[in-house]
Structures are given as C-alpha cells and as structure tokens.
C-alpha cells in the first residue's frame, strides 16, 4: 500500500520527549488513515520551502518516494520570516517556484502531490474573532500554484480558522503550547504561551480537518482514510 511522505515545518514534524508536549499534525495523522497506509514524516522545525530544499531534505524524499505514494506539502510559517534570508521567500515568486519543485519531485516518481495550506496561528482579537494572521498571501500563492499545476489542495488554513472561532479563545489554549509554569523542565522559564506550535489535542483537531479535506477530494485521496470517516 501507499506511503504518505510529508514535507513541512514544526506544525507537522514528529516530536520526541525533548519538546513534549509539542505534537505535530504528522504525528497523529495515522489516527485517520487505514492501517496499511504508512507515513514518512520529513517535516522539520524551522524550515521553509527554501532551506528544506537547500538542506537536501527534498532530495531525500526524491530518493525514497515511489510510484503510487503521496507527497503532502505544507509550508508558510517560516517562508514568512523576512528577518531570516536563509528562510524567507516572497509569496508570489520564489515561494511558488519552490512549491513547483516539490510537485515535480512527486510527479517525476509517479507519486501524487497534495498541497496543504498552513494551519493558522492562534491570533484572537476577542473571544470568538481571529485577527488577520500572517499567512494570507502564502495561502493565496499556494492556491494559485495548485490551480496552475492542477494539484489537489486541502485548505487547512480556512478550516483551522473556523475551528478556532467555533471553539473560542479560552478553549483553544488546550490546542496550542500554552504550558503552565513548573511542569516541563525543558522550558527555561517554566511557562509557554506559544500560539503557533500544537499540543496533542490541537494536532488531532487539525488532523481531522485534513482528513475531511481528503474525503472531499474523493477518489484515491478518500481511499487513504478509514472507512468510518
């Protein structure tokens, strides 16, 4: 059966005890998949499309992916960082060019690329309303690339915003890395109010969004999922 290869950043990556309770979406996606589907999670903390390629992480995927596999492509958080030229990409030029390189890797090996727009940061302006966030141009650029290249897309950005506004400002603290003081020694100040990285509950909520998106795509994408979903 097929393998899902995942290229992305810290919102997707597999975490160990050194970053617990941080949990990437790729860590929990198996909950939604048929047991014969495997995941190779190549996502890495802090990576944009630029340095993921520059560090030969995409080349590793190219060497391993085979016909009938899937490449899930989920970036933007670090592409946005203008202060870091090793990471930054302009959304409507080099970001789109880099996305096409990921698509070419999959298609050259007769695998199936899937774009996943970035999960939104927890950016409430009041109890039920999110601010504009930082991903807008990158979401537009990914959607434009998907249309240009005929790549299926799961709009996690829009779904994650809807899920947060439904749950509200207070409840979503359980989804993100809001960690009380004194519990985890690897937080130097004993406290985390991180609104980007996820805990297990958040990863499951957003993994469910991706599963819903795959179901809506239908066909071979729906066939990845448990029959009960």
| Per-residue model confidence as pLDDT tens for the chain (229 residues) | 899 999 999 999 999 988 889 999 999 999 999 999 999 999 999 999 999 999 999 999 999 999 999 999 999 999 999 999 999 999 999 999 999 999 999 999 999 999 999 999 999 999 999 999 889 999 999 999 999 999 999 999 999 999 999 999 999 999 999 987 667 766 666 667 899 999 999 999 999 999 999 999 999 999 999 998 8
pLDDT confidence of residue 181: 67
pLDDT confidence of residue 189: 63
pLDDT confidence of residue 182: 64
At residue 146, what are phi and psi to the nearest 5 degrees?
A: -60, -45
Report, in this order, helix, strand and coil percent for the chain, each rounded to 5: 40, 15, 40
Q: What is the pTM of this model?
A: 0.95
With CA atoms as reference, report the closest residue to 198 among 15, 71, 8. 15
Tell me the C-alpha distance between 212 and 30, whole Å: 14
pLDDT confidence of residue 1: 81
pLDDT confidence of residue 87: 95
Tell me the C-alpha distance between 227 and 213, whole Å: 15
3-222, which class in CATH? alpha beta
Contacts of 118 (CB under 8 A, 6+ apart): 11, 74, 75, 76, 77, 135, 138, 139, 156, 157
pLDDT confidence of residue 228: 85
Tell me the C-alpha distance between 82 and 4, whole Å: 31
Q: CB of 133 within 8 A of CB of 123?
A: yes
| E strand map for the chain | 3-8, 38-41, 70-74, 112-116, 124-126, 129-130, 153-154, 176-179, 192-198
At residue 66, what are phi and psi to the nearest 5 degrees?
A: -135, 170
Place of tokens 């979503």: 172
């Amino acid at each position: 059966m097929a393998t899902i290869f995942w290229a992305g950043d810290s919102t997707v990556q597999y975490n160990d005890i050194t970053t617990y309770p941080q949990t990437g979406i790729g860590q929990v996606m198996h909950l939604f998949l048929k047991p014969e589907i495997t995941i190779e999670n190549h996502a890495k903390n802090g990576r944009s499309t630029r340095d993921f390629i520059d560090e030969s992480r995409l080349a590793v995927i190219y060497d391993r992916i085979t016909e009938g596999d899937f490449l899930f492509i989920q970036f933007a958080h670090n592409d946005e960082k203008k202060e870091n030229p090793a990471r930054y990409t302009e959304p409507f030029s080099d970001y789109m060019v880099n996305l096409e390189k990921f698509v070419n890797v999959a298609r050259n090996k007769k695998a199936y690329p899937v774009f996943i727009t970035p999960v939104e940061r927890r950016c409430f302006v009041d109890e039920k309303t999110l601010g504009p966030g930082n991903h807008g141009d990158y979401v537009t650029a990914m959607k434009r690339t998907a249309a240009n290249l005929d790549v299926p897309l799961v709009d996690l950005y829009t779904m994650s915003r809807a899920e947060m506004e439904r749950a509200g400002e207070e409840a979503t603290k359980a989804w993100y890395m809001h960690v009380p003081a004194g519990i985890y020694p690897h937080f130097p100040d004993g406290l985390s109010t991180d609104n980007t990285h996820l805990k297990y509950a958040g990863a499951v909520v957003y993994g469910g969004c991706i599963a819903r998106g795959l179901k809506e795509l239908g066909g071979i994408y729906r066939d990845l999922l448990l029959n009960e979903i």
